[in-house]
Chains A and B, each alone.
Chain A
Amino acid sequence: MIPAAFEYHRPKDLEGVLSVLVEHGDDARVLAGGHSLIPMMKLRMADVEHLIDLQDVAGMSGIAVDGGSVRIGAMTTQNDIITSDALAGAAPIMHEAALQIADPQVRYMGTVGGNVANGDPGNDMPGLMQCLDATFTLVGPDGERTVAAREFYEAAYMTDRDDAEVLTAVSFAAQAGGYAYEKQKRKIGDYATAAAAVLLTKEGGVCTSASIAMTNLSDTPIWSEAAGAALAGTSVDDAAISAAVGAMLGDIDPTEDNRGPIEFKRHAASVVLGRAIARAWSRA
């Protein structure tokens, strides 16, 4: 649990960050809250010769709710999400989900940007971002671009982000309708055995739209378009929920680990999704 030697950089602005990234390429990594990266370095699973701390970079944190849109700076902590009144109004699912991430100590340090950029299938924010149809803002030596969360994840720890890019913010439209983030875990501080993010809208007793994403059930988060579609146009009765769960099961691909065998993971996924839909519907 002793990391290999590394060079520590603490630039004050994004230009400073980018110049180290460009100079050292693969050998450089940015450090946000450190609660995923530092354990990996201590286990010597991540070999980082140049560590660039984002802590002092100006303008990278904060939550802005502007009319119908929400923008969260990458360095905003998970604890900031929990305590933000503006966000509680604009995207209460963020609040519900953040409370189920890790424990308070981790949440004081862990950031939204780190959580979504990390690419660990166990992280909760990526699925949530897909559910919200968020876009990520990336800044690199060639300037700024945006990528849809639903396009960002390629495989475990592999994302569309280029090594020399920094993720600066996540943005999404303020949510409407019912919501739920349901997570089964073994204990506080554990990653999900299975988790489901559900957003849906209701008009006159009928579901008009639904977005469903699952966490830790494949090597990337799974936004199940088919599961959402199975709810749209229904009254979200048992049959509709079963159809949505069935569609979701067609999209996930869990692996066995200490949380249980594949069969159990699929079962747990069904249960958490069923419960998430029921709760979201009750709130719609």
Chain B
Amino acid sequence: MNKELTREERTDALGGMGCKRKRVEDARFTQGKGNYVDDIKLPGMLHGDFVRSPYAHAKVVSINTDAAMALDGVVAVLTAADLAPLGLHWMPTLAGDKQMVLADGKVLFQGQEVAYVVAKDRYIAADAVELVEVEYEELPVLTDPFAAMESDVVLREDLMGEGGALPDGAHGPRKHHNHIFTWEVGEKEATQQVLDEADVVAEEMVYYHRTHPCPLETCGCVASMDKVNGKLTLHGTFQAPHAIRTVVSLISGIEEHNIRVISPDIGGGFGNKVGAYPGYVCSVVASIVTGVPVKWVEDRMENLMTTAFARDYHMHGKISATKEGKITGLWCHTTADHGGFDACADPTKFPAGFMNICTGSYDIPTAYLAVDGVYTNKAPGGVSYRCSFRVTEAAYFIERMVEILAIELNMDAAELRRINFIKKDQFPYQSALGWEYDSGDYHTAWDKALKAVDYDGLRAEQAQRVEDFKAGKTRKLMGIGLTHFTEIVGAGPVKNCDILGLGMFDSCEIRIHPTGSAIARLGTISQGQGHATTFAQILATEIGLPADSITIEEGDTDTAPYGLGTYGSRSTPVAGAATAMAGRKIRAKAQMIAAYLLEVHDDDVEFDVDRFVVKGAPEKFKTMKEIAFAAYNQAIPGIEPGLEAVSYYDPPNMTYPFGAYVCVMDIDVDTGVTDIRRFYALDDCGTRINPMIIEGQVHGGLTEALAVALGQEIAYDDMGNVKTGTLMDFFLPTAWEVPNYETDHTVTPSPHHPIGAKGVGESPHVGGVPCFSNAVNDAFRAFGLRHTHMPHDHWRIWKTANELGLHG
């Protein structure tokens, strides 16, 4: 007989919420045993590859596929003309626009898909691509959205009405033939009046450059049409497998029950794998045409040049305050460069995502935001790279504007933030741009952060450094980057959040096995976040079975319940809530079974870690393991056999994680080289499910923030050529460039989430980008700098220093 365990020991044995459970995924990942799309090999499988446009804007005069078709091993070469009879030469985008699957008479960006070659092996496909002859006639190229809005050149003839009329777009009236939409939030006149009457107004154009999520694994799929039973199986790198199934069904006309979408292991997504790409459509068509499976996997250049980019927001801001520094108003006009097609992945009612979180952590009474989307000759996309919809843009904007306002007021930027934070007792807080912040305690977090880094000491050191620099004793400046960000994640309430009409709830289905282990399936899909680890922890605590006895499965639409997938830090806020709620249904039934077994009334038993005990008589209990067995194998009057539950969770509100970050950076003014001496990150993500996973997420998000702030960009020349199409030029930091991060936390649970969790995967990126950038800007504040654009790579920092006259 085992010795009776204490309550604490029983809790520890579950490995539930709050413990640093090791990632169950890592055993296979660290041994190279993951199963990614490119690992999938089906019998008779063919390989697809694209002919892509070398031009950013050109008419496609002719396509000759004869030489390619003549190559031994080539099975088919698809062009728009082949897809047109099926109506598949264009496809709908997530933003309500449409996008060419294969060039239909013209191309709009360099790398655009022109023809799709299908061959017996990957090498033959690549050889055949070279043999397809395409005749182009170059057209004028527009790479600047401001110029595009003035230009006579029409990029999208397909959107023009009769006689040059401009029909409305998916988001209302259009102002110009290269204009996509205007989105307005807040009070325009009132804000203007506040600005007019303010003591102080700071104004700046804040450009957030174009970059790319660049997951380790590129996008790809294997489409397999079984002509005998009419079923299509589509393996792919999908962050939203169920949505993909619905979209494929709507586009192809294949009934949804005949489509099985499977997301196997995914090597990072960061928003890049939310959308639908021409490669998926072409592979499906090719499999339907040939009757055998067809694989398509992008290479790195294709991924960087053609699949969804992020940002490219020109944010013109004005912020006003009293002399004492109380912020009175915020105005923002954004010109958003969407490329050749509007393929942003945002909830339908939010064409600029949640950019209206741009009042940030501050109590700003009056605000106005307008966003104009514009077509240019660049790749489509505009996804949320490791952030909720356009939230990094918003956080970067407000955190830069506050710093600039501090300069204008000649105030310390930390103090300016402190006097403007939304106070703890103001939550739930209604923002001027329409959000209801669920909970927060910004002052506590801020004070803790400043104390941890000895903020006053850092400022004193910085002042001394400036003196030494001026005296010629050093050529290094010191920057102190501050950020207090508020995110908005967990999209979202179905009443206002849908993508193409698909409501943004999520789901969990649990099946308890008779011997007391379980499987839970969710509508989300891990791309490295460790769902199999953390969701089992939520359940362990909710249902009292050990996390190690719970399998978590996602990504197969034939088995998992419907859900909208993983992006925008929505897995924990939405599917995590569904998991807890489904767990509670299990527990409710278990309670009835326990009461029956213990021969007491339902109300006389209570849940205690891993068992139900008779109230007041803890020695009388039934463990969840025992209850599971009884659920299946004992006839219990009035109760169906089995122990299963499903929950579809429609969140009542978003969650609002926040954090306080400080970066200390030394900058070599002569070379532009930056050295991050210290990075402190305090995150408040509400209830903490697994501190170790949180820390890993914070490290990853900060590293991608460092990349974006210090060098990572998708740059084009005036001809629309991508200048950063390989990892030689597209900056991915290595361990060498990454500093040692100090992580910290406060805990302010979400009041409306079943377990109080808010989501953390994207916070460090949202807060990290402005923090690194603020450090660079701050280093030059003493020499008169107001704002310099990212990315802060060596030559741009040198240029800033040069323009300030720091090179003598």
Contacts and interface: CB of A to CB of B under 8 A. Distances in A.
Interface of A: 1-2, 4-5, 44, 103, 184, 186-191, 193, 258-261, 264, 267-268, 271-272
A193 B794 contact: yes
B467 interface: no
B671 A271 contact: yes
B606 interface: no
A261 B793 CA distance: 12
A188 B301 CA distance: 20
Nearest to B730: A258
Contact of A184 (B130, B711, B728, B794): B794
A216 to B, nearest CB: 13
A103 B127 contact: no
Interface of B: 49, 122-123, 125-127, 130, 299-301, 670-673, 711, 715, 723-724, 728-729, 731, 733-734, 736-737, 793-795, 798-799, 802, 807
Given A186-B793, A268-B671, A103 B734 contact: yes
Contact of A188 (B130, B729, B737, B799): B737
Contacts of A189: 734
A128 to B, nearest CB: 21
A264 B795 contact: yes
8 contacts: A5-B123, A184-B673, A184-B794, A187-B711, A261-B795, A264-B799, A268-B671, A268-B798
A1 B123 contact: no
Nearest to B49: A2
Most chain A C-beta atoms within 10 Å of own C-beta, residue among B729, B795, B802: B795
Given A259-B795, A264-B798, A268-B671, A1 B301 contact: yes
A186 B123 contact: no
- Consensus secondary structure, chain A interface: loop
* Residue of B49, B728, B731 with most chain A CB atoms under a 10 A cut-off: B728
B127 A5 contact: yes
A73 B130 CA distance: 39
Complex A-B, nearest 9 residue pairs according to Cβ-Cβ distance, in ascending order: A260-B795, A2-B126, A1-B299, A264-B795, A188-B736, A258-B729, A188-B734, A271-B670, A187-B737
Given A1-B301, A184-B671, A271-B671, A258 B734 contact: no
A184 B123 CA distance: 38
Contacts of A259: 794-795
A188 B736 CA distance: 7
A206 to B, nearest CB: 27
Contacts of A2: 49, 122-123, 125-126, 299
Contact of A187 (B126, B301, B733, B799): B733
Contacts of B301: 1
A258 B723 contact: yes
Contacts of A103: 734
Given A4-B127, A188-B734, 11 more contacts: A1-B299, A1-B300, A2-B49, A4-B126, A44-B130, A190-B728, A258-B723, A258-B724, A260-B793, A261-B795, A267-B802
A105 to B, nearest CB: 11
A258 B49 CA distance: 29
Contacts of B123: 2, 5
B151 to A, nearest CB: 26
A5 B731 CA distance: 31
A21 to B, nearest CB: 25
Contacts of B807: 267
Given A258-B729, A259-B794, A261-B795, A186 B671 contact: no
